[in-house]
Structure 1
Amino acid sequence: MPIRREHRFFYPIDWPQLSAVIRFGRARSRCEGCARPHGRLVHHLGDGRWWDADTGRWRDGWGRPTRVAIGTDVLGRVRTTRVFLATAHRNHDTADNADANLAAWCQRCHMVHDRPEHRRRRWATLFRRKALGDLFGGPYA
């Protein structure tokens, strides 16, 4: 995932090289959360289940083999997504670049991991807006 311009100074100068080592060296171009392959189109059902073309079977959101019920309308629900790996900080601290703190995750796994942090930031933003609205313009709409 691209780093916002205002956040780039939090990362080390060799971040692109460090990220490439984690994504392509250690993880071997597969998500460490669900094993989706980097750079390939993946067919998925939208609930985490995806088709692994290499093994010829469905996998769940954690990469474990799963089954799809025979009576389900799979073709009507299948979507296609191109998978891109990103190197993520497990503890959300960009200064902690220890090998154990970095993970190579696809978009889905990265968003699932960051959900509580995004929720916290959204609450802080709305709280700040409401406080400024109360202070300067009356009740915040």
Structure 2
Amino acid sequence: MSPPDLIEHLEMRQTKVSLAAAHLNHDPTSNRWRNLRALCQRCHLLHDRMYHLTQRRLTLRRRLALGDLFEGPYRIGMVRG
């Protein structure tokens, strides 16, 4: 058995994977075993994609509403200074 090639070993890509507990029905109060799965971060984000998109939309709408409340309605095409 030959020793491993140092250059080949240095070029090898290594990644660290973190597992996250995903609620399959998207309800964090339901902690039954059949409702939980250990997923990598990428798969967990893909599983919760629609929830995150909805939260993003709500956050943006809240920011616009606060701007309207304190600074007046936004005008399309105008930049405030």
TM-score (norm: length of structure 2): 0.68
Q: Which residue of 1 aligns with 2:38?
A: 104
CA, structure 1 residues 135+79, in 2 after alignment: closer, same or farther (shift >3 Å)?
farther
Q: Which residue of 2 aligns with 1:84?
A: 18
Unaligned runs of at least 5 residues, structure 1: 1-74
Q: Which residue of 2 aligns with 1:135?
A: 69
- Give the match's secondary structure for 1:82: coil
Q: How many residues align?
A: 65
Q: Which residue of 1 aligns with 2:6?
A: none
Which whole-Å CA distance do the structure 2 matches of 1:113 and 1:79 have between them?
Answer: 26
Which whole-Å CA distance do the structure 2 matches of 1:124 and 1:106 have between them?
Answer: 26
Q: Going by fraction, where is helix more abundant, 1 or 2?
A: 2
Q: Which has the higher contact order (CA 8 A, sep 6+)?
A: 1
Higher-Rg structure is 2
Unaligned runs of at least 5 residues, structure 2: 1-10
Which whole-Å CA distance do the structure 1 matches of 2:47 and 2:19 have between them?
Answer: 14
User: Could you tell me how far 1:120 is from its partner in structure 2?
Assistant: 0.4
Please give the root-mean-square deviation of Cα atoms over the aligned residues, in Å. 2.2
Which whole-Å CA distance do the structure 1 matches of 2:18 and 2:67 have between them?
Answer: 40
Q: Which residue of 2 aligns with 1:10?
A: none
Which whole-Å CA distance do the structure 2 matches of 1:87 and 1:107 have between them?
Answer: 9
Q: Which residue of 2 aligns with 1:122?
A: 56
CA, structure 1 residues 115+80, in 2 after alignment: closer, same or farther (shift >3 Å)?
farther
User: Identity over aligned residues, as a percent?
Assistant: 54
User: Could you tell me how far 1:81 is from its partner in structure 2?
Assistant: 2.1
